Amino acid sequence: MQIVFDNIIYSLQRYGGISVVWNELLKRARTDTRLEVTELDYTQMSYRWLERYRIPDWKPAGPTLFHSSYFRFCPDPSVKNITTIHDLTYHFYRHGFAKAVHLWEEERAIRHSAAVICVSEHTKRDVLNAYPWLDEKQVHVVYNGVGEEFFPIPSVKKQGYLLYVGSGKAAYKRLDVARMVAQQTGLPLVQVASPDITREQLNRYYNEALCLLYPSDYEGFGLPVLEAQKAGCPVIAQRTSSIPEVIGPNGLLVQHDTPERMAKEIAAIVRELQSRPTQTLIEDGIQNAKRFSWDKTYQQTRQVYEDIDHNHHA
């Protein structure tokens, strides 16, 4: 099975959730002897102005699958395209020209795709609502995984701080709520974000924190939720979008109509965590994280490839 991986995402971001997912996919595809892999790598190839919006400068040699890391496709009739949708934040939280361009880019890729991969059931519903003409049979849910670099460190003691993972630049990520919780509880808030720390350092932060605050209004998946759980860090998150799917049945979830009310409820949960043993909650999180792995993500993605390839040659 011939497949081309379009690594355009690395020209847009070296860090972030999409890059993490793409790294894990490529790592496994490169060692899969059942695939004939070609990579379009723009650290090695020439990069044209506005490359992300262009048709890739590549010509197929027979029936091929083409999987882009970010909304590109090959129009050649001998190629079957696969598009991954991580979230629909541009639909809900962006405006103006940037939103218009992104939606054009996204819809163009979907229209040219034989299969669309969504990272959660919630994202799938969002995609089908946004594009009602899309055949649901073309849309596949493949959950993200969580890395083996996240685990409880026996020698590390809880330091009692609140942890927030991410830049918080987007308002919907609700850094403002996390800051209100810190103010109300009197606990320090530690904010960490790529590329400032390594995965090893992030694991240590998870291990030391009293809990991860994840009050985001919208997530296509929510990788930090699983990373924290796998590292033995309790998570307090908002009951919205994909989070209930990911955090599991015993997750600490809140939902209120204003940031102030949300912060007040989260602060009450934080005080409860301070006053009672959390080992059962930690063990529940570790068990929940076992539902997800990058190997499973890859195998399910590969199954999508096989189905498309089989139909391509039928």
Single pTM value for the model: 0.94
In a domain, 153, yes or no: no
Task: Indicate if the pLDDT at residue 48 is higher than 90.
Answer: no
Residues 124 and 97 grouped into a single domain: yes
Residues 7 and 136 grouped into a single domain: yes
Residues 194 and 73 grouped into a single domain: no
pLDDT at residue 312 in the model:
66
Residues 126 and 234 grouped into a single domain: no
Residues 242 and 125 grouped into a single domain: no
Residues 177 and 133 grouped into a single domain: no
Structural domain total, the chain:
2
Span 140-167, pLDDT tens digits? 999 999 999 999 999 999 999 999 999 9
Stated length of the chain: 314
Parent domain of 234? 162-289
Beta-bridged to residue 191, according to DSSP, are: 164
Residue type, 205: Y
Q: What does DSSP assign to residue 194?
A: T
Task: Indicate if the pLDDT at residue 5 is higher than 90.
Answer: yes
**What mean pLDDT comes out for the span 112-116?**
97
**What mean pLDDT comes out for the span 191-204?**
92
Give the three-class secondary structure for 150.
coil
CA angle 279, 242, 137 (to 5 degrees): 135
DSSP string covering 17-80: HHHHHHHHHHHHHTT-TT-EEEEE-TTTS---TTGGGSPPS---SSSEEEEESSS-----TTEE
Give the start-end residues of each E strand in the chain: 2-6, 36-40, 64-68, 79-85, 113-118, 139-141, 162-165, 189-192, 211-214, 235-238, 252-254
Residues 76 and 138 grouped into a single domain: yes
CATH number at residue 207: 3.40.50.2000
pLDDT at residue 14 in the model:
76
Between residues 58 and 215, which one has the greater pLDDT?
215
In a domain, 150, yes or no: no
Residues 37 and 66 grouped into a single domain: yes
